[in-house]
Amino acid sequence: MLGGGRRCCPCFGSGSSASDGEEVADRDPVLLVSGMGGSILHSKRKKLGFETRVWVRIWLADLQFKKKLWSLYNPVTGYTEELDDSCEIVVPDDDFGLYAIDILDPSLFVKCLHLTELYHFHDMINMLIECGYEKGTTLFGFGYDFRQSNRIGKSMDGLKAKLETAYKASGGRKVNIISHSMGGLLVTCFMSLYPDIFSKHVNKWICIACPFQGAPGCINDSLLTGLQFVEGFESYLFVLRWTMHQLVIECPSIYEMLPNPGFNWKVPPVVQVWRKEPEDDEGPAVKLETYGPLETSIVFEEALRHNELNYDGQTVALPFNFAILKWATGTRKVLDNAQIPEGVSFYNIYGTSFDTPFDVCYGSETSPIGDLSEVCHTMPKYSFVDGDESVPTESAKADGFAAVERVGIPACHRELLRDKRVFGLITKWLGVSPKVAECSRTSKVMDAVA
């Protein structure tokens, strides 16, 4: 990597902050808000205060995930709580909140191999610094516990505090928010619940790849067979699909991204199951059962009724959680009631040109499902629509707001965060341009936490 005529070792990050003593740019601050899986999470011992990175990590990923991140939803508090009651999950706020959303496994191993799947907001942070933004004065990040609901108190309080910090640090300038994926739902919830605070502190909101009306194929299947964040050979070093499955069943944020049954879909998304029917005179019979957005809970309930995990020698039942579904229904009302306050400009970037899961089918005519619990141990077959491989274009475009601009970019979900065309739109909408910059530091040299 070249910058300002000198070479930087690619194993090390780079960056600048207001503490470097350079003149602070006369501009509105930017706050970057991550999405599902887009924040580093630490497990913190309640007594000793020692912290261990549990998301994201390459080494011992699956083991640490099971031990520290497996959780149960508490319907009294509305929070998903760790099975390990000696620890709590926290989000590091180092580097003005940017550390947690930059390189998601900031170990030397990942940096030296430059595993781009884990370089989350890294390139965008670099780009903004090259445009003259200063960490801690005009550039901030907001990571959060993405297991929780997008309208839960801690996340709302955290976003409010970060907006106030950016507002004050820049001398009372309104903040420009750039959100990615589920981060757009969190921002929408905040805007809906606290419109006066949002109006006071926000100037522009640039939303990237947000599942405004849900992510039907990905989310329906995640509740039945799990979620795979990394593909290819790297997946063998990462959290296993089944391990992730046992967490997402207890995550309100996942339920909040189920397809919106009240949205006017061109064709409503469905879950289909090829089922064995009782034998008749002509032999075994097969039937294709179809479930729409209001009926999929029938499949979830039946398929997950025997689901359980073993934790610390004890069996923990994890059926489909109707208490979370009820909470998520309340969140959908919050989202549907959101409006862009007067004086705030909204921009929407969404992904196109990639096959994106929409309908999900389990079993086949020649290999049908007997008991619905078998679904959890089969691989899905998708029907695809246009989108970014995760969020259908139809959902990402349907923000329901008066947008200044909506632009489709042919890129997949996470690659939108490092796409040069996206960067061009962001700099245009922010009214900035890259400067001739020396090699800048965006990440710590090494991870201080194991």
pLDDT digits (tens, 9 = 90+) for 154-206: 999 999 999 999 999 999 999 999 999 999 999 999 999 999 999 999 999 99
Kindly list the strands in the beta sheet with 202-208, ordered across the sheet, starting from the edge strand earlier in the chain.
139-142, 30-33, 175-180, 202-208, 345-351, 405-409
pLDDT-above-90 percentage for the chain: 81
Distance CA 243, CA 102 (A): 24
Two structure tokens written together for 83: 């099975």
Q: Is the pLDDT of residue 283 over 90?
A: no
Q: Is the pLDDT of residue 36 over 90?
A: yes
| One-letter amino acid of 298 | I
Window from 127-131, 226-230, 314-318, 415-419 with minimum mean pLDDT: 226-230
Check 149, 179, 181, 390 and give the catalytic one: 181
pLDDT of residue 58: 84
Phi, psi of 31, deg, nearest 5? -120, 120
pLDDT band at 444 (very low <50, low <70, confident <90, very high): very low
User: Any catalytic annotation for residue 114?
Assistant: no
pLDDT band at 302 (very low <50, low <70, confident <90, very high): very high
Two structure tokens written together for 242: 């089944």
Check 102, 145, 359, 388 and give the catalytic one: 388
Residue-wise burial string across 350-386, b where 16 or more C-beta atoms lie within 10 A, e elsewhere: bbbebebbbbbbbbeeeebbeebeebbebebebeebb
Window from 5-19, 252-266, 322-336 with minimum mean pLDDT: 5-19
Mean pLDDT across 113-121 = 88
pLDDT digits (tens, 9 = 90+) for 47-86: 999 999 999 998 889 999 999 999 999 999 999 999 999 9
For the entire predicted model, the pTM comes to 0.91
CB-based contact 409:351 (threshold 8 Å)? yes
User: What is the separation, in whole angstroms, between the first and last Cα of the chain?
Assistant: 27
Q: 170: closest CA among 140, 142, 198?
A: 140
Check 413, 419, 440, 447 and give the catalytic one: 413
User: Any catalytic annotation for residue 181?
Assistant: yes
Number of other CB atoms surrounding residue 161 within 10 Å: 12
Number of other CB atoms surrounding residue 278 within 10 Å: 6
pLDDT digits (tens, 9 = 90+) for 216-245: 999 999 999 998 766 655 555 679 999 999
Two structure tokens written together for 28: 């509105």
pLDDT of residue 76: 97
pLDDT of residue 348: 98
pLDDT of residue 372: 96
Two structure tokens written together for 300: 């979830």
Q: Is the pLDDT of residue 427 over 70?
A: yes
- The rounded mean pLDDT for the chain is 90
For residue 144, give every residue at least 6 positions away whose Cβ sits within 8 Å of its Cβ, in sequence order, or none. 34, 39, 91, 154, 155, 158, 159, 186
Q: Is the pLDDT of residue 20 over 80?
A: no
User: Any catalytic annotation for residue 388?
Assistant: yes
Window from 14-23, 72-81, 161-170, 390-399 with minimum mean pLDDT: 14-23
Q: Is the pLDDT of residue 147 over 70?
A: yes
Window from 98-107, 223-232, 420-429 with minimum mean pLDDT: 223-232
pLDDT band at 364 (very low <50, low <70, confident <90, very high): very high
pLDDT band at 114 (very low <50, low <70, confident <90, very high): confident
Mean pLDDT across 27-52 = 96
pLDDT of residue 25: 45
Distance CA 141, CA 444 (A): 15
Q: Is the pLDDT of residue 42 over 80?
A: yes
Q: Is the pLDDT of residue 3 over 70?
A: no
Q: Is the pLDDT of residue 324 over 80?
A: yes
Distance CA 179, CA 205 (A): 8
Q: Which residue has the higher pLDDT, 444 or 131?
A: 131
pLDDT digits (tens, 9 = 90+) for 308-317: 999 999 999 9
pLDDT of residue 15: 46
pLDDT band at 111 (very low <50, low <70, confident <90, very high): confident
| One-letter amino acid of 245 | H
Q: Is the pLDDT of residue 338 over 50?
A: yes
Two structure tokens written together for 8: 């930087």
Please state whether beta strands 139-142 and 51-55 pair in parallel, antiparallel, or not at all (unpaired).
Answer: unpaired
Q: Is the pLDDT of residue 5 over 50?
A: no
Distance CA 419, CA 425 (A): 10
